[in-house]
Structure 1
């Protein structure tokens, strides 16, 4: 029983007793007034508690955004190894040569939020730990149900699907997902791509934050059989090494994916700010322009055509 219910019942009981025992009208009026005052005090107290809880909640939600505003800077995690998405446009690995769709999208977000930006080079397997520790504020990541349990995501700024890099002469003996059984697949330890490989019986060979060349060279020389990855990244990775005996699998496209900005779970205000900017970038065509610039296709739009779903993934 709540405090209000208890006090209501107590006063009502007194009021009823006095009616049955013939207490004067003036006394009853006083009790009636007392009852009204008591209820008002309890309601105001409850509202005060609620307001305090709301204030605490707002403080938690605002904490990350206020921290970023105070610093005047967004710290972004990115790989720097993925052609088209995040890579160095030149031999020198300096921040001013870091570019790609993910990098330039983050720069545009920061500029529209009136913030400076800095990048931390970090492998995909370490992004979530880096957000938890506060080493970085945000990054780009594939949105999954499992990740949304522990982190906040913006609306998607990239839509894609999964495909494979295989040997060109025989498609590495892979004509369907079921043919992954017993194959060696190069990939990151915690990616959705490696989970797909494992689900279909492949052995995953992990590399850390290695460049595309390391993954793809191993398919070429037979150390591994396949690299399962995002369509856009695989397309440009393969095109970057024309001397390798590899190509994009001609028939397999599966598991539609959405990429958004990942951030701490309680960063609700930061999420709202980023979503507002992404909406502007969609409406004025900036996202499409950046996607076409780096991917030669508009990755900011949902791809057309039939794409096979992969069930049972836990990421």
Structure 2
């Protein structure tokens, strides 16, 4: 009889422990969803809010005579929203305002390249675009710039907080900052001598040039530097959203969606793959 009571007691204990383990596992799965308030809010709204410029060809812009926002970044965002099964809303803003808008919760995601300081505050997906940095200069004299050291004393047009402006300052250039203006404002300033150079993404600049063939500007023929990526960025605590977007980005690379979008907006080039170029590494620049 005592053995029977002992056996029954052990059996009850095992069942209780098993039930507790199952409850804890379920709680853990539920807590993962609860802890990612960003994803929970997106699901509740049925909509993801995206910060984008709306002024930068071919990444985020309005075609001539159209009120429909498009561009590589925009269409990548639309595809992500579609695969998340939510609607999408775009908030247009200057690049310098995007991280603060993300931090405040005004937007859910943006696109940007990771840097050490921003990695501490935000989460970055796998890259949706690879590139490197180059310069737009005056065509007739390369704005007097043969090497990076020749940037000293020059005026570079750009946003205040980008890696491009950090490169300009590192080599002694003064940075003239702009609001959320279209590409032509930067390019015309180089052509007319108000600035000397625009340091920016190779693919974006090469295509921007094609829109203004009348301007006295060109890509610098020799200076290719600082490999970069563009990633989907969200709050650090958005762990579930990050996992979902990384899965989607991987699928978009695998099924050719990113390659197709790249070809559409970058003249047949594939920015979803790392460029096969000899790129200058700049020490001290992230």
TM value normalised by structure 1: 0.80
Structure 1 SS opposite 2:126: coil
Matched, 1:299 2:279: no
Q: Does the CA-based 8 Å contact 1:60-1:266 persist in structure 2?
A: no
Structure 1 SS opposite 2:208: helix
Which residue is 2:109 aligned to? 138
Q: Does the CA-based 8 Å contact 2:32-2:240 persist in structure 1?
A: no
Structure 1 SS opposite 2:61: strand
Which residue is 1:194 aligned to? 165
Q: Among 89, 93, 98, which residue is 2:69 paired with?
A: 98
How many residue pairs get aligned? The number is 268
Q: Among 62, 68, 83, which residue is 1:112 paired with?
A: 83
* Greater C-alpha radius of gyration: 1
Q: Deviations over 1:260-283 (max 9, x none)?
A: 001011001000111111111111
Q: Among 195, 201, 209, which residue is 1:238 paired with?
A: 209
- Call closer, same or farther: CA 1:295–1:218 in 2, change over 3 Å: same
Q: Among 207, 219, 222, which residue is 2:190 paired with?
A: 219
1:236 to partner: Cα distance: 1.3
- Call closer, same or farther: CA 1:130–1:167 in 2, change over 3 Å: same
Q: Deviations over 1:146-186 (max 9, x none)?
A: 21111001100100000000000010000111110000000
Q: Does the CA-based 8 Å contact 2:33-2:240 persist in structure 1?
A: no
- Call closer, same or farther: CA 1:274–1:59 in 2, change over 3 Å: closer
Matched, 1:266 2:257: no
1:51 to partner: Cα distance: 8.0
Matched, 1:72 2:49: no
Name structure 2 gaps, 5 residues minimum. 1-16
Q: How does 1:139-218 map to 2 (within 5 A)?
A: 139-218=110-189
Which residue is 2:281 aligned to? 309
Provide the C-alpha distance between the structure 2 equivalents of 1:194 and 1:162, rounded to a whole number of angstroms. Answer: 11
Provide the C-alpha distance between the structure 2 equivalents of 1:200 and 1:164, rounded to a whole number of angstroms. Answer: 14
Q: Deviations over 1:206-247 (max 9, x none)?
A: 001111010000000000000000011111111111111001
1:52 to partner: Cα distance: 11
- Call closer, same or farther: CA 1:52–1:182 in 2, change over 3 Å: farther
Structure 2 SS opposite 1:287: helix
1:60 to partner: Cα distance: 5.5
1:84 to partner: Cα distance: 1.2
1:90 to partner: Cα distance: 2.4
Which residue is 2:12 aligned to? none
Structure 1 SS opposite 2:146: coil
Matched, 1:88 2:59: no
Which residue is 2:13 aligned to? none
Q: Deviations over 1:77-129 (max 9, x none)?
A: 1101111111101234x3xx111110000001111111111111111100000
Which residue is 1:12 aligned to? none
Provide the C-alpha distance between the structure 2 equivalents of 1:205 and 1:57, rounded to a whole number of angstroms. Answer: 47
Q: Does the CA-based 8 Å contact 2:50-2:107 persist in structure 1?
A: yes
Q: Among 41, 63, 73, which residue is 2:37 paired with?
A: 63
